[in-house]
């Protein structure tokens, strides 16, 4: 009987350890449903607010573009273990119409995605409708967000511009843009700023 009790105890302990390891390794993504513009379109622009510095990622440096996309995508990932203990595991993205006023950034870097064709606004994987009784989709051609230094994991605001109605929609999600900030600051156009 003692051996059976030990076996059961070891089995339970093994399951707990495996569960902890898996939750520490597996990730949950808080990434918004945004198609990143292709490298060929040159639709990823980066600027420094209040300065005349602007750069576009495109075909002239495909490796840099691919690295940007990779770091951007990882910015929205959290381990399941961290999400559980921080209470963020069930966090949903939220969106609101903020009217015609464009976001005003004074620090960090501003990243802008531009699209040749209108995109459908989706939140939490579903097409977003401004009102419950509306069947019309909200379309956008531009996405704007700020990347700040040393903020860690924080609520992040991503703005979608509806050029038909001239409205901005603010999506709130979680992100850690520290690595993206470091990557941008090392880009040739912006590295000069540090010197």
Smallest CA-to-CA distance from 183 within 95, 34, 74 is with 74
Each residue of 143-158: pLDDT tens digit?
999 998 887 778 889 9
pLDDT given for residue 28 in this prediction: 65
Each residue of 121-137: pLDDT tens digit?
888 777 877 765 567 78
Residues 92-120 have a mean pLDDT of 86
Give CA–CA dist 177/147, Å, rounded.
6
Higher pLDDT: 12 or 134? It is 12
Give the dihedral of Cα atoms 168, 169, 170, 176; nearest 10 deg. -90
Weakest mean pLDDT among 1-10, 142-151, 163-172: 1-10
pLDDT given for residue 146 in this prediction: 92
pLDDT given for residue 110 in this prediction: 92
Extents of the domains making up the chain:
33-77+89-194
pLDDT given for residue 195 in this prediction: 45
Is residue 76 a contact partner of residue 175, using CB atoms and an 8 Å limit?
A: yes
Give CA–CA dist 45/69, Å, rounded.
12
Report the interhelical angle of 178-185 vs 62-74 (nearest 10°): 160
Does 181 score more than 90 pLDDT? yes
Rounded mean pLDDT of the chain? 79
**β-strand 139-147 against 126-127: which pairing, if any?**
unpaired
| Residue 186: strand, helix, or coil | coil
């Amino acid at each position: 009987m003692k051996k059976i009790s030990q076996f059961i105890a070891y089995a339970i302990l093994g399951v707990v350890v495996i569960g902890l390891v898996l939750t520490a390794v597996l990730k949950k993504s808080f990434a918004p449903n945004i198609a990143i513009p292709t490298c060929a379109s040159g639709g990823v622009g980066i600027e420094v607010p209040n300065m005349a510095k602007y750069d576009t990622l495109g075909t002239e440096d495909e490796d840099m573009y691919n690295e940007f996309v990779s770091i951007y995508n990882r910015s929205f990932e959290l381990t399941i273990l961290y999400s559980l203990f921080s209470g963020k595991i069930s966090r949903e993205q939220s969106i609101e119409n903020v009217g015609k006023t464009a976001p005003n950034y004074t620090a960090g870097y501003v990243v802008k995605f531009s699209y040749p064709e209108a995109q459908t606004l989706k939140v939490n994987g579903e097409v977003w409708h401004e009102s419950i009784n509306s069947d019309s989709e909200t379309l956008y051609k531009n996405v704007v967000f700020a990347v700040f230094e040393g903020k860690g994991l924080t609520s992040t605001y991503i703005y979608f511009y509806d050029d038909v109605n001239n409205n901005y929609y603010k999506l709130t999600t979680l992100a850690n843009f520290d690595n993206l900030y470091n990557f941008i600051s090392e880009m040739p156009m912006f590295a000069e700023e540090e010197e």
